[in-house]
Structure 1
Amino acid sequence: MTAAGNPSQDVDIDLAQLFRAVWRRKGRLLAATVFVAGSAFVVASLMAPRYEAETRILIEPREPNLTSPGTARSDLQSVLDEQNVVSQVQLLTSTDLLRRVAKNMKLYERSEFDPETNPSPLADILVSLGLRNNPLEIQPEDRVLKTFLEHLQVYPVEKSRVIGIQFTSKDPQLAAGVPNEIAKVYRSLQSGAKLDNTSEAARWLEPEIANLREKVRAAEKKVADYRASSGLLRTSDTSDITTTQLNDITVELSKVRAERANAVATAQNVRAALKAGRSTETLDAVASSPVIQRLKEAEGNANAQLSDLQTTLLDSHPRLKALRAQIAGIRQQIASEAQKIAEGLENQAGLYQLREAQLDQQLNQAKAESARAGDDQVGLNALEREATAQRDLLETYLARYREASSRLDKDASPADARVISTAIAPTTASFPKVIPITIVAGVATLVLGSVIIMLAELFSGRALSPIARPAARREDEVVEIERTEPVEAPSAPPQPVVIGPARKKTEAVPAHLMVAEVDTRLAAAMERAVDADMLKASAADVVSNDRQALEEPAPEDDFSVSAVADYLAGCQAQIVFGISPTGDDGSTLTVMLARELGERGQKVLVIDMSGSGCPTALMAGSRDLPGITELLCGEAAFADVIHPDRLSSVDLIPQGRADVRQAMRGADRMSMIADALADVYDTVLVECGPADAQGVARLSHSGIHEIVLSAPEPDTSELAEIMTAFSKAGYDDLILMTGGTTPKRPRTRAA
């Protein structure tokens, strides 16, 4: 939006002016509100009151009162679905049901529902001229149906099987009586329909049951005669003698075959071990033998005695020879016993083989008998199926007949619905609500009038105010170094040198440079923009030409911590990047700067990206706290990595304990993290240690930010190289901080 006088100037809405405009017109606004509210009150009071009552019906299957347990119909157990509930709503609004209700309640006698009983003179004239049918010729119940439906509302309650019946009338007793009468007539119709179905079913089932009884008797006699003639005697409900014998022989044969195979395999295993000279003591068949166990025990005792005597006697001693001979004999006995066990297993396998042959012969005989019985079983199964079908049908008919007989009474067939909420005569009118109507009319008039006044102010331009543009950042005077003598140009252009930040002896690498260490060492050197010798000569000329300035007291340092704090407190930048070419000395100045800003009432957050962890050591109580590396790796939240400074009100995000290389893969997120923190803190100070321009550019993608160059003892040539590198990266304006306390604005553009 722009102002009328100056189209190029931005404007803003003056909320105070809007509220003042409404307040100036408060008299007329309140008068209109009172008038509209009073009119609404009078009109609502003159309206004829209407009363509303509601009855609720639950649709559910209901069992007959006289039905025996277990004979309930399956359809009564099913849950009625949504379509059935909607169908019942249509039944409740059917013409036949409403006609019966209107007749029972004599609604045609009420002028509210049958205005045709007192026709107007014009209606009589039209009827006499034949231009209109005489409404009195129609049945009274039919005349009231249209008005009846207008006052009636039947609806299903959402996500339930409940149906609500609402009725509106000028008479509160009639408003409650009509829904109750509709529910009564509906249940009566439902019960009568179920009773008619039951009576018809009972009459049809009587002759069918008598016929089925004869068929079942004949079918069961045929089954018994066929079973006796074919010899198919039953041993259980599902098998006969032949089938049982065949099953027993098959089970016994499988058992004998398994035992024979086990004995043969065990004997072969023992003989293979004896033949190969392997030990048979680990075989189950040999190890479980009592003789083998006793021999193993004797061998163990002899070995124990031999071990004891070998410590005191020579190998040629008779007792040692006797014990060795005894052990050899025991081992021969073990081998002999293993041979006997193998022979015993082979004999046992032969016995199992004979038993298997006998069982095979018995199985063949049983199969032959089973095949013969199978042919007879086919005919028997056919007769049994016929008898079973007739018997099941007879039992079903009998159950249905007993159930139908028990429901022939009217009270034994209740409707599949019950009233869960009976309508009662209302004491208050549902319409009109005088007080709510009056309040709504008054509030609507007040709000609408206020909106109209505000819109008028906006369109007239009186509620618009120009936005003052922020003044351009004032640049301090730049002290230019004038040369008193011309300096010869160098004979050859300056050679490019590798720009690298100074590091401490501990070789602490900045956090954002750890991943790109190799790339930093191999980066192309940037061309020197300022010749260090020329700069030194120019400075000497300035000192020699200005002797009066030398005689005066030397001014305090313009690049002090206080001066930098003054400037940062007054600028718009909330994100500040600290560069320390000399390592931890510069990081210490950055910590002093943060504490200086904190003492001036600002909320300051320091993020330690120095690599050496100097800010963490100076400000945190421990180096093991989670910090920026955990935040970049996604292992911690903001609340877990922000810690207070132990000596000031400044907050700190330490270096952290996570893997630095993994954290630097997410270094591109640093800009978003700093922007998010800048919404909470007045100043976010990121200490980058001895970083270069590429590293800072990677961390500062967006937003307004400042770069502070912390150099306690600056070297002129080194500063020139650093500023040249940052200038090539797009950072032309750096802030130099060397220490001190004089509050002056520090800028290094002149350098």
Structure 2
Amino acid sequence: MSVGPATQPDVDIDIGRLFRAVWDKKALVAALTIGAAALAFVVTGMINPLYKSETRVLIETREPVYSSDQTQPQTDAVLLDERAVTSQVEILRSTDLVKQVARELDLSSREEFDPAANTSSVGAVMIMLGLKKDPHEIPADERILKEFYKKLEVYAVPGSRVIGVEFSSEDAALAAAVPNALIDAYLAFQSGAKLETNTDASAWLEPEIMRLREKVRESEEKVAQYRAERGLLLVNQQDTIAAKQLSDISTELSRVRAERADSEARAQSVRNALESGQSIDAISDVLDSPVVQRLRESEGTIRAQIADLSTTLLEAHPRMKGLRAQLQDVDRQILSETRKVLDSLESNARVGRIREDELVSQLNALKASSAREGEESVELRSLEREAAAQRDLLETYLGRYREAASRSEPKALPADARVISRAVPASESYFPKKGAIIIVASLATFLLAAIGIMLAELFSGRALRPSSAMMPAQMKTGQTAAAAATVSGDLPHQTAEASAELPLIANDADDFSVEAVAEQLIGEHVSVAVCVAPEGDEGSAAAVMLARTVAGEGLQALLVDLTGSACPTELMAESIRLPGLTDLMCGEINISSSIHPDRLSSAHIIPRGNANARRAMRAIDRLPMIIDALTEAYDLVIVECGAADAASVARVARADAGEVILSLLRADEETVSQLLSDFHEQGFENVMLMTPKEPRRPLGSRSSAA
């Protein structure tokens, strides 16, 4: 028949028991703590103190004051991002810089940086056994670098462009000198890199400039030759001769056309005045003639004379006739002069027309020539662009070359970093911190010792107790043992008279605990202890604690489960279905097959078993012989009878063969007295009281039967 695994009962950890165990071994804990503190003090005193110093440098772009880039604002955030700063950290950790600093400070002569110079005896033994590589097999430079890197720490300060360089050493002055020397070497490296770049640029620019000069000369010669061949000579910075002529002729043509139109208009005006008989006083060209102006003056004089003489002379007077004849002659002369002005204007108009025709002819010829020059100018502009590009490139290279030549000294090229804090020798060592190490070592030893004691108590099972949720309902009906009657109330205070009447053994005047009972059983070399738990499973759990406590003291302890509920089996065995006492009583197994280990301690248990209980009870008389046989192999055999009465206990145990232990948690004085009387009637003169709870006063002391 297959049997599934039984459910293990819940157990609680007795916290008070754990702390009591630590307190009981307080001397050991104190000795270990003091020893650890003393050892830490001695060890820290033997360790050479280490000093640490730090140098900080700010990464920023730096240019000379006379640099041509000063007019071009540049932001450091663009030039130096987080990756650039990280790259500078790696440069500071580069092997070349470290080797340079090691040579400058002669670190190879210091034992601190050469582990091969001070190999300890333990290290020598490990080298002989092949557990450690011989440092002499490693080159000296590598050994120094390895120790150097162990003491060096280069880091970027988060959220900034600041880099910190820390170095630790047994020498405070050296701890400050190394980071300062490393930073100086880094700045020199940066300046040297710039100088090298500048020198390379100068070396590259010089032949390039010579080559470009030749190209510019050739390009300009091509332009001049093409101009001469095509007649595209310039009269100023932009225009050719043909273009200049075309512009001048166009301007002259416009002027001639304007003059011709003006002459024709003025001639037409004079002609219209003559044809219509209008007065010439309205014609400006006639009035502007000097002859007409003189004639007009003569006419005015004559008219003044006529007007003056008309007051004294008649019209028929010869003087008057002569003056009027002169006046008519002047009018004829004015008219004749007017015609001459008209002829002059018409002549000017004809000349202007002829000039216009000539200019138009020249303009048309120049337009044809300009169209041809436009086609030729395309090639010319291409040559000019090529020459201009070569010239601009040459000027750029010349500017760069002059700038590079001005930076031929290292001081002219500052590094892209600036020291903001130099290392100074530390006044106090940073390691070892004696006070902190001693405190930590003492505290750690104390905690480890306490934890070790608590774990020992847990593994031995002495600090475990059944869960308060385990109810007596777990008891099986139909078994031979009777159910326990549980009463309420704490253990009563006993008077001296009552204690004298009770046949009770108290292992200590003030202690009825499981530990005290175990100590007394071990001290008196008791081989068989019969436990009775009138209160049921809670009392049976105390018997389990008793077996585990005895096993924890190094004795061989065995518990025989004679209860009806199989509470000890559930608490100790891996499964409640394991073969046990009933199987042994029925003859189905031998004694060795009925014994099983406790799952939480080194104690053993004979479980209740799986055979028929009634059949097993028929062979109950064999149990004392079995117990006697078990005492040959175990220091203490505990028979847990559960809630059995004195008569039932008498059937399985002889009164002179061991101790009877009453496991009580709650009982009144009357119940305890009745139990003691029952056991006295069955011949059990000495009875022990055991309770997991400590009563406020002892129940009694060892006495004999009344």
**TM-score where L is the length of structure 2:** 0.38
Larger Rg: 2
